[in-house]
């Protein structure tokens, strides 16, 4: 059997700092859905691995992302927290859906980050507005998901990194789907433990009896003999992840006959877990908060034609997933607690957990910060 990462990689503040520097400050991260910002001027302020980032839809429809820090004296431009704390309202942030303004000295920027105005400095000899744009954050989209990179000058090739998932899920209309329900979970577990758990089904028979009733193949050798590329077969008569494996929702347009009755899953490192059935998708966005705490935003995506129906109700899928999720979260927290024992230096991967070894290869591939 292969050894896992050392226990300290899941436990210590030092390891958490290394993960941020080597991975979350350098790799492409999933940060939401394009549907969250449909119109020009729509924006979100996100905490991305400890950095405040503004993501905004420009006038021409393109997405832009910037560090939330003015180039003049470094004030945060979008931050209602300090205003609320002192009971004031500062003229700042995304103003009139056309510009981003700093509250401190009024420097204003276009939505694409260009400096538009710096009061009292416009006629200063040698002052060149083009030299003071907002610090950029890389932004790309795939399948309706928004991805950010905090180090755009050295970012890995985005399209190359998504090539395999894009090919395997090419028939699914991911970009067209809309969020019908979102559940947020805060786990007392390291983000790497959660990814490892997602990437194997050795645990499924004991932890997920409801899931294995829908997918009996998960009871046999942890699903290692299944053709994950082609999709995972359900029990006879089941086509999706609901309590009884059936649905009144139409299958997504464009699916193959196999995809209409199978399930596919993708782990897009470092923070997107994506599970796709014929009628819905469950997308998990992971945000490490500390070595032993992770925020998970679970979004349930459906075709807009189904959502528009008067009798649309996603509960059969959402409630089923919520139970499966909570089973996973409970066992992940047990692992986090257990590996803190003084006698535990590392775990082991059984042969039928070979996909879990990806986390080691991924961490090693990211290198040192």
- Per-residue b or e along 9-46, where b marks 16 or more CB atoms closer than 10 Å to that residue's CB: bbbeeebbebbbeebbbbbbbbbbbebbbeeebebbbb
Question: Across residues 231-260, what is the average pLDDT?
Answer: 96
d(CA 264, CA 256) in angstroms, rounded, equals 13
Question: Across residues 292-300, what is the average pLDDT?
Answer: 98
Q: What is the pLDDT of residues 104-114, one digit of tens each?
A: 999 999 999 99
Residues 6 or more apart whose CB falls under 8 angstroms from that of 355 comprise 199, 200
CA max distance for the chain: 77
pLDDT classification of 79: cutoffs 50, 70, 90: confident
Query: Is the confidence at residue 103, as pLDDT, over 70?
Result: yes
Q: pLDDT value at position 221?
A: 66
Would you tell me the crossing angle of helices 358-366 and 191-198 to the nearest 10 degrees?
Answer: 140
Query: Is the confidence at residue 368, as pLDDT, over 70?
Result: no
Q: CA 363 → CA 38, 58, 146, 264, distances in Å?
A: 35, 35, 23, 24
pLDDT classification of 292: cutoffs 50, 70, 90: very high
Question: Across residues 252-269, what is the average pLDDT?
Answer: 96
CB of 67 within 8 A of CB of 135? yes
In the sheet with 93-95, reading across from the earlier edge strand, the strands are: 93-95, 99-101, 108-110, 115-117
- Which residues make beta-bridge pairs with 266? 274
Query: Is the confidence at residue 324, as pLDDT, over 80?
Result: yes
């499966």: which residue's tokens?
324
Query: Is the confidence at residue 235, as pLDDT, over 90?
Result: yes
What are the structural domains of the chain?
28-155 (2.102.10.10), 160-366 (3.90.380.10)
Q: What is the pLDDT of residues 266-282, one digit of tens each?
A: 999 999 999 999 999 99
In terms of Cβ atoms closer than 10 Å to its own Cβ (0-12, 13-18, 19+), residue 360 is middle
d(CA 323, CA 100) in angstroms, rounded, equals 42
Computed over every residue of the chain, the mean pLDDT equals 94
Pick the closest to residue 211 from 334, 317, 302 (CA basis): 317
**One-character DSSP codes across 233-284:** E-STT--SSSSSS--SSPPPTT--TTTTTEEEEEEETTTEEEEE-SSEEEEE
Q: What is the pLDDT of residues 3-38, one digit of tens each?
A: 999 999 999 999 999 999 999 999 999 999 999 999
pLDDT classification of 342: cutoffs 50, 70, 90: very high
Q: pLDDT value at position 159?
A: 97
Q: pLDDT value at position 369?
A: 58
- Which residues make beta-bridge pairs with 46? 53
Q: pLDDT value at position 20?
A: 96
CB of 266 within 8 A of CB of 168? yes
CB of 369 within 8 A of CB of 22? yes
| Range of lowest pLDDT (77-86, 156-165, 191-200) | 77-86
CB of 129 within 8 A of CB of 115? yes
Q: What is the pLDDT of residues 123-157, one digit of tens each?
A: 788 889 999 999 999 999 999 999 999 999 999 99
d(CA 325, CA 240) in angstroms, rounded, equals 16
Q: What is the pLDDT of residues 210-232, one digit of tens each?
A: 999 999 988 876 666 777 788 89
Query: Is the confidence at residue 55, as pLDDT, over 90?
Result: yes
Q: CA 277 → CA 35, 234, 259, 303, distances in Å?
A: 20, 11, 8, 12
d(CA 24, CA 125) in angstroms, rounded, equals 40
């Amino acid at each position: 059997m292969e050894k896992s990462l050392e226990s300290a990689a899941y436990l210590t503040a030092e390891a958490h700092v290394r993960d941020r520097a080597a991975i979350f400050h350098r790799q492409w991260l999933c940060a939401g859905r394009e549907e969250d910002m449909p119109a020009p001027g729509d924006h979100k302020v996100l905490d991305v691995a400890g950095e405040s980032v503004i993501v905004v839809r420009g006038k021409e429809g393109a997405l832009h992302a910037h560090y939330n820090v003015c180039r003049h004296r470094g004030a945060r431009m979008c931050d209602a927290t300090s205003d609320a704390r002192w009971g004031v309202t500062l003229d700042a942030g995304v103003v009139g859906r056309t510009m981003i303004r700093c509250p401190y000295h009024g420097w204003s920027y276009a939505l694409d980050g260009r400096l538009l105005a710096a009061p009292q400095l416009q006629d200063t000899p040698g002052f060149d507005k083009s030299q003071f744009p907002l610090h950029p954050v890389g932004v790309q989209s795939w399948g309706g998901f928004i991805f950010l990179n905090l180090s755009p000058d050295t970012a890995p090739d985005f399209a190359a990194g998504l090539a395999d998932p894009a090919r395997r899920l090419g028939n699914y209309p991911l970009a067209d789907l809309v969020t019908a329900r979102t559940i947020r979970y805060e786990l007392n577990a390291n983000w790497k433990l959660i990814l490892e758990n997602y990437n194997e089904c050795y645990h499924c028979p004991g932890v997920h009896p409801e899931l294995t009733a829908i997918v009996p193949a998960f009871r046999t050798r942890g699903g290692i003999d299944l053709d994950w590329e082609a999709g995972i077969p359900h029990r006879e008569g089941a086509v999706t992840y609901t309590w009884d494996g059936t649905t009144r929702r139409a299958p997504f347009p464009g699916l193959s006959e196999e995809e209409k009755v199978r399930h596919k899953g993708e782990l897009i490192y470092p923070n997107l877990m994506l599970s796709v059935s014929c009628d819905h998708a469950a997308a998990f966005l992971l945000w490490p908060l500390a070595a032993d705490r992770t925020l998970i935003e679970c979004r349930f995506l459906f075709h807009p034609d189904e959502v528009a129906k008067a009798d649309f109700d996603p509960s059969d899928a959402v409630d089923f997933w919520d139970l499966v999720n909570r089973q996973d979260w409970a066992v992940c927290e047990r692992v986090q607690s257990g590996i803190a024992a003084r006698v535990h230096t590392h775990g082991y991967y059984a042969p039928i957990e070979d996909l879990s070894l990806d986390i080691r290869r991924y961490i090693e591939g990211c290198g040192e910060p």
